[in-house]
Amino acid sequence: MPVELISANHAAALAATLAGRANRTARGFCCGVYPITPSTECMEYLCGQDIEKGKVVRADSEHSAMGICIGASSSGARSFTTTCSNGLAYMVENCVAAAGYRLPIVMSVANRTLGPPWNIWADHGDSLLLRDLGWLQLYSADNQQVFDTVLCAFKLAEDPRVMMPALCCMDGFILSHTVSQVEIPTQDLVDRFLPTTDVPHRLNKVAHTLGQMESPHQSAVHRAQHHQAMLNAEQVYAEIQDSFEEIFGRRPADPLVRYRAEDAETLIVSMGTLGVTAERVVDQLREQGQSVGSVRVRMFRPMLDAELRKIFAGKKRIAVLDRDISIGFGGVLWGEVRGFADPAAIVQSYMIGVAGGDVRPEHMVNLLTELEQCHESGAPKIVEVA
Site of interaction with other proteins (CB under 8 A): 27-28, 30, 32, 53-55, 57-61, 63-77, 79, 93-94, 97, 101, 203-215, 218
Task: State in angstroms the smallest separation of the CB of 58 from other proteins.
Answer: 8
Residue among 88 and 267 whose Cβ is closer to other proteins: 88
**Residue 348 CB partners (closer than 8 Å, separation 6+):** 317, 318, 319, 320, 334, 371, 374, 377, 378, 381
Residue among 58 and 251 whose Cβ is closer to other proteins: 58
- List the 266-270 sheet strands across, edge first: 256-259, 292-297, 266-270, 317-322, 346-352, 381-383
Task: State in angstroms the smallest separation of the CB of 16 from other proteins.
Answer: 16
Task: State in angstroms the smallest separation of the CB of 43 from other proteins.
Answer: 15
d(CA 321, CA 308): 15
Helix (H, G, I), strand (E, B) or coil at 335: helix
What are residue 167's phi and psi, to 5 degrees?
A: -110, 125
Residue among 208 and 375 whose Cβ is closer to other proteins: 208
Task: State in angstroms the smallest separation of the CB of 115 from other proteins.
Answer: 21
Residue among 56 and 364 whose Cβ is closer to other proteins: 56
Handedness of CA 306, 307, 313, 316 (dihedral sign): negative
Task: State in angstroms the smallest separation of the CB of 66 from other proteins.
Answer: 8
Neighbours of 86 (CB within 10 A): 17
Task: State in angstroms the smallest separation of the CB of 95 from other proteins.
Answer: 10
What are residue 260's phi and psi, to 5 degrees?
A: 45, 40
Task: State in angstroms the smallest separation of the CB of 64 from other proteins.
Answer: 4
Residue among 54 and 380 whose Cβ is closer to other proteins: 54
Residue among 33 and 276 whose Cβ is closer to other proteins: 33
Helix (H, G, I), strand (E, B) or coil at 267: strand
Residue among 205 and 375 whose Cβ is closer to other proteins: 205
Burial classification of residue 180, based on how many CB atoms lie within 10 Å of its CB (0-12 exposed, 13-18 middle, 19 or more buried): middle
Give residue 336's region: left, alpha or beta (phi > 0; psi -120 to 50). Answer: alpha
Task: State in angstroms the smallest separation of the CB of 166 from other proteins.
Answer: 18
Handedness of CA 96, 97, 99, 100 (dihedral sign): positive
Residue among 148 and 158 whose Cβ is closer to other proteins: 158
